[in-house]
Amino acid sequence: MSAAVDTNASYLTATRGWKSWAYTLDHKRIGMMYLFGILGALLLGGAFALLVRAELWSPGHTIAGKDAYNKFFTLHGAVMVFLVIIPGLPAALGNMILPIQLGAPDVAFPKLNLTSFYLWVVGALLLLVAVFTGGLDTGWTFYTPYSLQTQTAVIPAVLGAFVLGFSSIFTGLNFLVTIHKFRPKAMGWFQMPLNLWALYSTALMQVLATPVLGITLLLLFVERFMHIGIFDPNLGGDPVLFQHFFWFYSHPAVYIMIVPAMGVISEITTTFSRKPIFGYRFIAYSSIALALFSFLVWGHHMFVSGQSKLANMVFSALTFSVGIPSAIKVFNWVSTLYKGDIRLQTPMLYALSFLIMFTIGGLTGIFLAILSIDVQLHDTYFVVAHFHYVMMGSTLIAFIGALHYWWPKVTGKMYPERVARVAAIGVFIGFNLTFLPQFVMGSRGMPRRYWDYDPEFQIFHQLSTVGAFLLGLSLFGVVCYLMWSLKYGTKAPQNPWGGTTLEWDAPTPPTVFNFPEPPEIHELYNYDDLEELPEGGWVRKPSTGAKSSSGH
């Protein structure tokens, strides 16, 4: 390697050529490659979603037959869950921001980080192989025994998800070690930005839950390949055991999706309210609480799978308890807004959307945790609407918001603010138009995953389809103007929003090792430290001294 790399140059331009990206060990470049991959997968998953919605415009055959429809919703789910939402916040944005927020030069294991990225690529390619070799019609959950019988491409899809699981595990492991070992001495656990608490909790779940998915998918693979029989009732196996294993991972997976979203929402809310976050410790602890609770509630997916009554009651009660840390967070965010100097810039619009949609998604989750109600609502559109409010309305919205929040920092370019606000409003309206009617439909008995339906549901399906296309258009617009801004955007100031966390003290875009000199640790969320410049952006007031490096 040449020794001529200027470590004080922007990470984007310090080295050139495709090889300098393909072999890069720079966490920001790896995050950037993830980001582009994930945005591509988002478009693919979104296209499948629109195919689903288009087919449901009218009862019976609209644009595709039953089998094609089964593949559309399966591939939509698999692509969105495994390729977009799970890696979106931690692997793409977390990768770029986590070391900078710590004031560290990189993650603990840069080579492992690059390995994670290539595992993601391999997993994505395997899922693409599944798409092009007969598709997949099991639903993203791969439930046995159907997944053992279907003629569609289960084997590449399962292998893809298995590989993606290890990508996720290694990312989590990397982040855990980075936060433990690269935190500056002056930054105690409770001087960490809340985003890091969230990423820490997420990483914990990634490392503790994903291996169970790994072995489950491996057994499913061996089952199809060699008829080992552990999940096959014909051979004496237990198909419900698959559901237990699957949800032991996939419930925490929901928290792997939502907890980092909560982290970025904490950051955005306080920054754009110009007010210290309310209840810092409560938010920090509730992230850890969610990580722990997430391992104890998987049975709520199986209330109608023949689980014992006692187990149902225990899982129901534990599921209620998840509402506590979630509610703590919501109340703290709302209290942060209270009497804040709220700036309605694009990231804040997404954060406010998140607050509304997460509240709806969370509360309808409580409905579903009630045993008697779940028996009614299980496998209806009510469930579909609920988890889309959480996974899309909360996680993906937070991802898009975080993308706008950190885009100027990692690319050095500003996006067109006015267009972005219009798109944010389009996303909000489109999303709610898509999924509010689904609550109504579901509560009236429209089953999920059905290709055909009674004419009485048509109006709801049509509203939902219109909303989905508005949502798709808005998100496509977001991707377009972000790409546009890479070339034509105005130069971003070092601290465009007046954030107080360390990434705003790094150059824009950051240098190869993030900071030319080790950064000073300032008091977190102290907005009196900063003053707004007339030409845009914020700087630290010269009078405010740095906290001494000994901490307190």
Interactions with Cu ion, residue window 217-276 (CB under 5 A): 251
| Residue 241 binds other proteins, judged by CB under 8 A | yes
Task: Quote the least distance from Cβ 368 to Cu ion, whole Å.
Answer: 9
444 and 63 Cβ atoms separated by less than 8 Å: no
Among 133, 190, 227, 459, binds other proteins (CB under 8 A): 227
Q: For other proteins, what does the binding mask look like between residues 488 and 527, x meaning CB under 8 A?
A: -------------------------x--------------
User: 28, 45, 106, 302: which one contacts other proteins (CB under 8 A)?
Assistant: 106
- The two tokens of residue 381 are 């559109």
Which is nearer to other proteins, 232 or 505 (by Cβ)? 232
Contact predicate 98/89, CB 8 Å: no
Binding to other proteins in span 36-75, by CB under 8 A: none
Question: What is the DSSP code string of 31-79?
Answer: HHHHHHHHHHHHHHHHHHHHHHHHHTTSSS-SSS-HHHHHHHHHHHHHI
29 near Cu ion, rule: CB under 5 A: no
C-alpha dihedral (277, 278, 280, 283), degrees to nearest 10 = -100
Contact flag: residue 159 with other proteins (CB under 8 A): no
Residue among 365 and 519 whose Cβ is closer to other proteins: 519
Q: Which of 15, 144, 174, 266 binds other proteins (CB under 8 A)?
A: 174
Please enumerate in sequence order all residues whose Cβ is within 8 A of that of 3, keeping only pairs 6 or more positions apart, or say none. none
d(CA 68, CA 128): 16
d(CA 479, CA 457): 33
**Is there a contact between 391 and 434 (Cβ–Cβ < 8 Å)?**
no
Stretch that binds other proteins, among 235-243, 284-292, 445-453, 537-545 (CB under 8 A): 235-243
Among 245, 350, 354, 415, binds other proteins (CB under 8 A): 245
The runs of H, that is alpha helices, within 183-279 are 194-226, 239-273
**Where would I find the H helices in 294-416?**
309-337, 346-369, 371-377, 381-390, 397-411
238 counts as binding other proteins under rule CB under 8 A: yes
Residue 135 or 145: which CB sits closer to other proteins? 145
Pairing of strands 530-532, 538-540: antiparallel
Q: Does 539 bind other proteins (CB under 8 A)?
A: no
- With vertex at residue 52, the alpha carbon angle to CA 385 and CA 421, rounded to the nearest 5 degrees, is 65
Q: Does position 177 bind other proteins by CB under 8 A?
A: yes
Task: Give yes or no for residue 137 binding other proteins (CB under 8 A).
Answer: no
Within 10 A of 536 (CB to CB), how many other CB atoms are there?
12
Interactions with other proteins, residue window 398-437 (CB under 8 A): none
**Residues within the interface to other proteins (CB under 8 A):** 104-106, 108-110, 112, 169, 173-174, 176-177, 180-182, 207-212, 214-216, 218-219, 222-223, 226-230, 232, 235-238, 241, 245, 248, 513
**Residues within the interface to Cu ion (CB under 5 A):** 251
